[in-house]
Chain A
Amino acid sequence: MIIPYLTALTTYFSYGLLFAFGQLRDFFRKSVDWWSASTLQGYAPICLGLEDFYIRRLYLRIQDCFNRPISSPPDAWFDVVERVSNDNNKTLKRTTKVNRCLNLGSYNYLGFAAADEYCTPRVIECLKKYTPSTCSTRVDGGTTILHTEMEECVANFVGKPAAIVFGMGYVTNSAILPVLIGKGGLIISDSLNHNSIVNGARGSGATVRVFQHNTPSHLESVLREQIADGQPRTHRPWKKIIVVVEGIYSMEGELCKLPEIVSICKKYKAFVYLDEAHSIGAVGKSGRGVCELLGVDTADVDIMMGTFTKSFGSSGGYIAGSKELIQYLKYTCPAHLYATSISAPAAQQIISSIKVVLGEDGSSRGAQKLARIRENSNFFRSELQKMGFEVLGDNDSPVMPIMLYNPAKIPAFSRECLKRNVAVVTVAFPATPLLLARARICISASHSREDLLKALEVISTVGDMVGVKYFPAEPNKQQVEVGQVKKVD
């Protein structure tokens, strides 16, 4: 990431100022509260020390930029409910007014978020036949024929012998990692991995080490150091080593350097766990994810995990691997044994959307969607870069964060875009590092060329107003040519 030096200095200064003001207000609040009597004598405080400082003094000031309620399916255009605040953003109240806005924030990569002509009638029929909930765990009475069909479908799509599906994507990571590895094992995870992986790794009891984001050389040095050292105090060899990486990192839009990482793991005999939450269905020629895009054989990746919330318009997560692995997970994973199974209409949506993507529904809509999302992402990214924005992410990736840096630009960008009926998602601390605040744009296959042009126009105007065009803009060659032609005439 390339940061202009002056921006770095002003960002540190802004955060320092916000911190100082927050401390000053806390000091006065404490003095005022000392005089008023408390009704709860002898109870411990809910928040220890400074724990809620960030929420009270920084997040609540710009609360209206986050958690905006919507009142329609998250298609390319959707309805955003307006909220008002009477006490300077401490509390927000919904009004009955809605704005029709262009959706640049939903993970709707293939456009399955709204009603689809193939999927929705089948889902409604399934809802009437199987009812919304199975009301049971997979082992008790919650496995219908839809569930078995869905697991086969997913395994075929991903390219592995077998798969197991859970009702929630977050739970897939945090309940599987403790089952796969325990005390005496080593988990090496990328420094920017999602919170679900961090949670699962902490809950497993294994030793966790972190390697520099997407740097295979650092991964190799961490592996060598850890294998040479062994377990923490006994120095015995590790029981198992798992390296956890993601396909597309949701906050960076970057693809993982999978071929190098897989070859390093093969050399040192570590297992590879690939989390394809954002890349399955969105990249690759037939939508099979980052393995297809980068040319990695799926037999080399030991455990492939993904979610259905992003490209398939459903809910839930899956793990795909060898038949022995999936059989083992079926008897030990608590999410399979004790959690309610994924609801039947959601399973039907998964099956239908995979059929559309593979073209098995008899039309070429799947291939069209995949081509459209690739074209849209590449067009949008190159146009933004030409305008002078600092856009992260690799080509072909549908996630593009625009760097904002200064804390004041976060609410400015968000509110100005909303005024012009474009809804963007701005991400600040703690999802990103403190200084690297960004506006994250997710392109969908249901965005048409006009939608993208409108979005570009709005973002360009707002970018000029807010001052986020950190790089020099490329001069528009076409305009110069037209001018010359006019002069000749």
Chain B
Amino acid sequence: MANLYVRAAPTTDLNRNTEWFTYPGVWSTYILILFFSWLMVLSIFACSPGMAWTVVHLSHFFVTYQFFHWKKGTPFAEDQGIYNRLTWWEQIDSGKQLTRNRKFLTVVPIVLYLIASHTTDYQHPMLFFNTLAVFVLVVAKFPHMHKVRIFGINADQ
């Protein structure tokens, strides 16, 4: 494993906030973090695997919604605020829709939902919360929702 090398192709993305997502190894790291957090939840709470997946799915929902779809702008000031009105999701791939990265990020919550519902045997109330979470996340990632602020929630002053 230590002898495996990957070649990093130079990107044309000037936005330093999003260009790290174009380098190799991001998708694997994302999946590995989800898997290890499931193991951690299982060991800390000593609950059933299904509950652990539900916990991972819901916390994934909160974390990704906050950082991908709620927080706007970039964590540094060098770009002089040109991305201040855009959330991270709207910034990646310079706003181009339906790229490979976007498709991957849309599939991950759906797969998590399927695993969580399957391992809890589709029981309520877990099914209700899981479905709500995946519905909100997937709708937020639609191409039609690019730069849309429903009822002015999270719009600028």
Q: Which residues of A contact B (CB under 8 A)?
A: 1-6, 8-9, 12-13, 15-16, 47-55, 191-192, 195, 198, 210-215, 218, 429-430, 433-436
Contact = CB atoms under 8 A, between A and B. Distances in A.
A300 to B, nearest CB: 25
Interface stretch (B51-59, B71-79, B103-111, B125-133): B71-79
Instruction: Identify the 4 closest CB pairs spanning chains A and B, nearest first.
Output: A8-B25, A53-B75, A213-B10, A12-B29
A201 to B, nearest CB: 11
Contacts of A215: 10
Given A5-B25, A12-B26, A50-B71, A210 B33 contact: no
Nearest to B14: A210
Given A2-B7, A433-B19, 8 more contacts: A4-B2, A9-B29, A12-B26, A47-B77, A51-B74, A191-B12, A192-B10, A211-B12
Contacts of A6: 1-2, 4
B33 A430 contact: no
Interface string B1-27: 111111111111010100110011110
B81 interface: yes
Report, as a range, how many residues of chain B touch the other chain: 20 to 34
B5 A3 contact: yes
Q: Which DSSP category, helix, strand, loop or mixed, fits chain B's interface?
A: loop
A1 B20 contact: no
Contacts of A55: 76-77
Contacts of B43: none
Contact of A51 (B5, B25, B32, B77): B77
Contact of A430 (B7, B8, B78): B78
B123 interface: no
Contacts of B14: 191, 198, 210
A210 B11 CA distance: 10
B99 interface: no
B32 to A, nearest CB: 7
B101 interface: no
Contacts of A436: 8
A372 B20 CA distance: 39
Given A51-B81, A52-B77, A5 B5 contact: yes
A140 to B, nearest CB: 33
Contact of B6 (A2, A12, A192, A429): A2
5 contacts: A48-B84, A51-B74, A51-B81, A210-B12, A210-B14
B5 A430 contact: no
Nearest to B29: A12
Contacts of B20: 12, 15, 433-435
A9 B72 contact: no
B25 A12 contact: yes
A3 B6 contact: yes
A210 B16 CA distance: 14
Contact of B75 (A2, A13, A51, A210): A51
Nearest to A10: B29
Contacts of B84: 48-49
A192 B1 CA distance: 31
Contact of B73 (A50, A210, A434): A50
Nearest to B10: A213
Contacts of A48: 73, 81, 84
A98 to B, nearest CB: 32
Contacts of A47: 77
Contacts of A3: 5-8, 23-25
Nearest to A15: B20
A286 B154 CA distance: 60
A489 B102 CA distance: 68
B117 to A, nearest CB: 27
A212 B12 contact: yes
Contacts of A53: 75-76
A375 B78 CA distance: 38
B32 A9 contact: yes
A57 to B, nearest CB: 8
A67 B105 CA distance: 39
B155 to A, nearest CB: 14
Contact of B16 (A2, A51, A430): A430
A3 B8 CA distance: 7
A12 B4 CA distance: 17
Given A6-B4, A51-B77, A54-B76, A191 B25 contact: no
Nearest to A1: B8
Given A2-B5, A3-B6, A435-B20, A13 B73 contact: no
A407 to B, nearest CB: 12
